Amino acid sequence: MYGLIGSVLRLFMYYHAINLSQWCWILVEGFMLVGCSYVITLSKPLDELKDMRPTSSLIGPTTLSSILGQEAINIIYLCFSIHMLSSQVWYCPFSPDNVDVAKWWLLSDNHMATVLFFSVIFQQHTTAWTFSFGSIYQQPIWLNYLLLVFFAAVAALDLYLVLGEPSYVHHRSEILN
């Protein structure tokens, strides 16, 4: 799922000729990817086996419909986010014509990069959360305490980045607010 979200993010970035800041990439790929991947694996199986076995097909209808359905929701959400930004009266599209390519970090100083960052980071959280439920084969999600703490910390960080006053963290991550 991360690969699909990342691929769509890169397509939108290339289309709009922008880039995310270095700290946004560190947050997305370093902290979120590694953190989500680790805490999801801590979900334990149920004490008793069920009569029906889980699907073993990686390209079966259940797996594909789950992944493609989630990705369709993510793409619609991303398109809606971009539409909401571009329909604002104050919005001026970013033009990379005046940016020296050797100074690639300047491609992240725009509102589109901020919207793409927050859209994708929330998509990753939501996807990791929904794929942690585990259907009828895993213990309830609220028994994975580290997962709950991780998602609470990440949600608090995201809310701070979205709603917080400009600070050193905003400056370092080059998030426009």
Q: Is the pLDDT score of 128 beyond 90?
A: no
d(CA 101, CA 98): 9
Q: What is the pLDDT of residues 78-94, one digit of tens each?
A: 999 999 988 988 988 87
Q: What is the pLDDT of residues 10-36, one digit of tens each?
A: 888 888 888 888 888 888 888 888 888
Q: Is the pLDDT score of 59 beyond 90?
A: no
Q: What angle do CA 150, 155, 161 make, to 5 degrees?
A: 130
Q: Is the pLDDT score of 149 beyond 90?
A: yes
Of 99, 80, 82, 100, residue with least CA distance to 91: 82
Q: Is the pLDDT score of 177 beyond 60?
A: no
For the chain, what percent of residues have pLDDT higher than 70?
92
d(CA 113, CA 19): 6
pLDDT score recorded for residue 172: 66
**Are 164 and 12 in contact, with CB atoms under 8 Å apart?**
no
Kind and range of the H or E run holding 163: helix 145-163
pLDDT score recorded for residue 39: 87
Locate the domains of the chain by residue range.
2-44+58-173
Q: For 52-61, which contacts have Cβ atoms below 8 Å and span 24 or more sequence positions?
A: 52/136, 54/135, 54/137
pLDDT score recorded for residue 26: 82
d(CA 132, CA 41): 9
Q: Label residue 54 exposed, middle or buried (CB < 10 Å: 0-12, 13-18, 19+).
A: exposed
